[in-house]
Amino acid sequence: MEKAMNLDESVKSKIDNYVLNNRVVLFMKGTPQQPMCGFSAKTVAALDSVVPGYVSVNVLDDSDIREGIKVYGNWPTIPQLYIDGELVGGCDIILSMLNSGELHKSLGLEQPDRSAPEITITAAAAEKIQEAMQGHEGIALHFSVDANWDAQFNLAPPQGHEIVSESNGIKVLMDVATAPRARGAVIDWVSTMQGEGLAIELPESPAPVRQMTVQELAQKLKAGQVTLVDVRGTHDRSRAFIEGSLFLDRETMEELERMPKDTEIAFLCHHGNSSMGAAEHFRKQGFTRVSNVAGGIHAWSLEVDSSVPTY
C-alpha cells in the first residue's frame, strides 16, 4: 500500500503496527463499548454483527494517529476499517458492504441470511405510517435495531440491498443485522400520558435486568453461582468492598465480554443506581442472566455483613 510521503515515520510505524499485525482493525472515535460519534457507533454495530473479534483504535487517545490515519490511507474521515492490511473505507461503505454481503466475503464468512422476518404492524400503526408517508415519492420506510436493541424508523430512499418485510399493507426495509433482531416484532400505535406514538415490541431482545436482593446475592456468592462486579471507583472500594468481587476496569470488561452469554453476573455500586447502567450495557450485549444489586453495598452492610463499613 502506497503511503503519502509527508507522514511522519514514527506515526507511520505506529499505524503499521496495528494495520499489518492484525487482520481486522477499526480506527474510530471512542471504543466499541462507548463510541463517541454516530458514524463510529453505526460502524461498530455493523462489525459486531459479523465479526466475533477485531482490534479497535481510539483516535481520540492519540492525536498523532487521529491526523496520521487520514494521510496513511488518503482517506479524510473517521472511522476507517482495514482488513488484511488494506483500507476498506468508512461508515457508509461498510454499511453498504454489510447489506450486499461484500463485508462477509471480505472476511471469508458465509453470506448472511437474507430471509425476511415475520413482523406485525397493527391496523392503527399502519394508518399512522401511511399518513406520514403520503407525499413522499421514492421514499421507503426503514427499520433498524442496533446492537444495543434500540429500535427506530426513518424515511429514506431504498439502497437496493435491504431485506423487505410486509404487514398490513406496509413494506418495511431492514439491513441484514436488523432482520434477525426484528423476528416477531410487533409495531403498534399507542396513547400514553407522554403522548401518542409507535410502540415496538421485540421478542428477540435480551431479558430485562433483574433486581437482586443482597440476601440472594449472599446465597449465590456462597454457592459460587454468580460473578459479582463492583462498578465503584478505587476510593470508594478502599472504604468498603465485598470479598471476591471484581473491579470494573478495562481488563475486567474484556474478561466479562469473553464469558458465555448465559453467565450469571451481578453489578454492585454504593446504592444500586450507577450499577444499573453497567448491568444494562451487558444485557444489551446479549447476556441473558444479568442482575443489579438493589441497595448496593450500603444495603449489604446493613442487612448482610455489618463488618463492611457504611459511608
For residue 43, give the CATH number of its domain. Answer: 3.40.30.10
Would 112 be classed as within a structural domain?
no
22 and 102 both lie in a single domain: yes
111, part of any domain: no
User: What gap in Å lies between CA 58 and CA 61, rounded to an integer?
Assistant: 6
Contacts of residue 16, Cβ cutoff 8 Å, sequence gap at least 6: none
Q: Is residue 113 part of a domain?
A: no
Residue that terminates a domain, selected from 152, 171, 201:
201
**pLDDT tens, position by position, 10-50:** 999 999 999 999 999 999 999 987 899 989 988 998 898 88
Domain that holds residue 68: 9-106
pTM over 0.75: no
Same domain, 20 and 100: yes
Strands of the chain, DSSP E: 24-28, 55-58, 80-83, 86-89, 120-121, 140-145, 151-156, 163-167, 170-174, 186-192, 195-201, 210-212, 227-230, 246-247, 264-268, 289-293
- Looking up residue 298, the CATH number of its domain turns out to be 3.40.250.10
In a domain, 4, yes or no: no
188 and 127 belong to one structural domain: yes
Interval 230-259: pLDDT, tens: 999 999 999 999 999 999 988 898 899 889
**In total, how many domains does the chain have?**
3
* Inside any domain, residue 281: yes
Residue whose C-alpha cell is 460473578:
227
Structural domain contains residue 54: yes
CATH at 191: 2.60.300.12
Q: Is residue 114, in this structure, part of any structural domain at all?
A: no
pLDDT digits (tens, 9 = 90+) for 174-221: 999 899 999 999 999 998 888 899 999 999 888 889 999 999 999 999
Do 224 and 270 fall within a single domain?
yes
For residue 143, being part of any structural domain is answered with: yes
- What does the alpha-carbon distance between residue 104 and residue 110 come to, in Å, rounded to a whole number? 6
Percent of all residues in the chain with a pLDDT value above 90, rounded to a whole number: 73
286 DSSP 8-state letter: T
